[in-house]
Amino acid sequence: MADFAPKTIEEVKDERTYQRYTEIMATLPRERGFAQDLLYQHQGFWYWDRYLPGVMAVQNHFIAQPSDVLLVSTPKCGTTWLKSLISAICNRKLHPLTQSPLLTVNPHQLVPFLEADLYANNQIPDLDILPSPRLLATHMPYSSLPQSVFDSGCPVVYISRNPKDTFVSMWHFLNKISTKESIMPSTVEEAFEMFCNGASLYGPFWDHVLEYWRASIERPQYVMFLKYEEMQAEALVHVKRLAEFIRCPFSLEEEKEGVVDEIIRLCSFQNLSRLDINKTGQASFGDTHIKFNTFFRKGKVGDWSNYLTPEMIDRLDQISKQKFHGYGLTLY
């Protein structure tokens, strides 16, 4: 029924806005991505065709609030994990952890992506109706975030991961979601070449990471930089730091009662990946349907050693060395 309902003036206006973004996209440089999909270059970064209009809409229409929490990553660096942690930390007073929404809802539904969920399907949403604090996510580079993020001073939490595991994870992910004609698997060698040249989702990977690293040094009170590997090695330390940064610190009493450990266990790969919702559920990100189990593969540090040749390892290490030289950043 709803399909035949006449469009409201607002809906027509939003459609025209998106139509304009599609016209702008047609003028941008484009490349084939890992999965034979189309990538467009916008402000120095490569975007998936299906999410770039949403990125433009976010840039022009999203108004950040000081109370927001903005979670950022380049794909496959631990987004799902960080979403679950932030959701559990911020909502622990609303729901006892034994009844956490994470037990029945996928983290991506609790912390939606701006450009792939909220500003998708030709919509300019009214986000003022969301309860505060609004927990929001994006893969957008720092230099492309809307000005309101900086003006609002909302906390921005970035998670990074070593490029070798990120690449391997991304290659598997795109192969798994290759169900449409426009998304076809490529060989690991082809994908590797694209990744090194920067033409990967939200790439160049190194530029993305470096922008947030530099921001975390220049504006440490607003931008927190996390590393997937350090989170795995010392979850307790980093989860406590994270809670403080997003202004939901743990009390001494909570620490004594083991609340931090409970949150770490709840959000662990082992726990989340065995839940029914994450084994069998799926959702649409814009017009792309993704099964939740594709977000849970191995959750390990160092799986790259099973996929990359010594030449590939050396090439990625060299690029990291060259790109990060002089910035004091190492990614395991």
The one segment of 13-21, 47-55, 180-188, 261-269 that binds ligand PAP by CB under 6 A: 261-269
Dihedral angle of Cα 188, 194, 195, 196, to the nearest 10 degrees = 110
298 near ligand PAP, judged by CB under 6 A: yes
Active site residue 139: yes
Q: Which amino acid is at 132?
A: S
124 or 263: CB nearest ligand PAP: 263
State which residue, 76 or 208, has the beta carbon closest to ligand PAP. Answer: 76
Residues 154-213 contacting ligand PAP, CB under 6 A? 165, 169, 172
Helix (H, G, I), strand (E, B) or coil at 283: strand
Kindly state whether residue 332 participates in binding ligand PAP, applying the rule CB under 6 A. Answer: no
Burial of 162: CB neighbours in 10 Å, binned 0-12, 13-18, 19+: buried
Retrieve residue 132's tokens.
């505060």
Q: What angle do CA 241, 245, 249 make, to 5 degrees?
A: 70
CB of 118 within 8 A of CB of 285? no
Q: How far is the CB of 78 from ligand PAP (least distance, A)?
A: 5
Please give the Cα distance from 57 to 70 (Å, whole number). Answer: 17
Interface with ligand PAP (CB under 6 A), residue from 64, 69, 77, 111: 77
**Contact positions with ligand PAP (CB under 6 A) in 234-253:** none
* Nearer CB in complex with ligand PAP: 73/186: 73
Among the listed residues 42, 95, 108, 139, the single catalytic one is: 139
The CA angle 71-88-213, to the nearest 5 degrees, is 25
Q: Are 238 and 199 in contact (CB under 8 A)?
A: no
By beta-carbon proximity to ligand PAP, the closer residue of 124 and 159 is 159
State which residue, 40 or 171, has the beta carbon closest to ligand PAP. 171
Closest CA to 76 of 142, 182, 168: 168
- Contact pattern from residue 30 through residue 69 relative to ligand PAP, giving x for each residue in contact according to CB under 6 A and a dash for the rest: ----------------------------------------
Query: Chain centroid to CA 236: how far?
Result: 22
Q: Does 79 bind ligand PAP (CB under 6 A)?
A: yes
Binding of residue 149 to ligand PAP (CB under 6 A): no
Asked if 296 is part of the footprint of ligand PAP (rule: CB under 6 A), the reply reads yes
Asked if residue 296 lies in contact with residue 275, where contact means CB atoms within 8 angstroms, the answer is no
Q: Which residues are catalytic?
A: 139
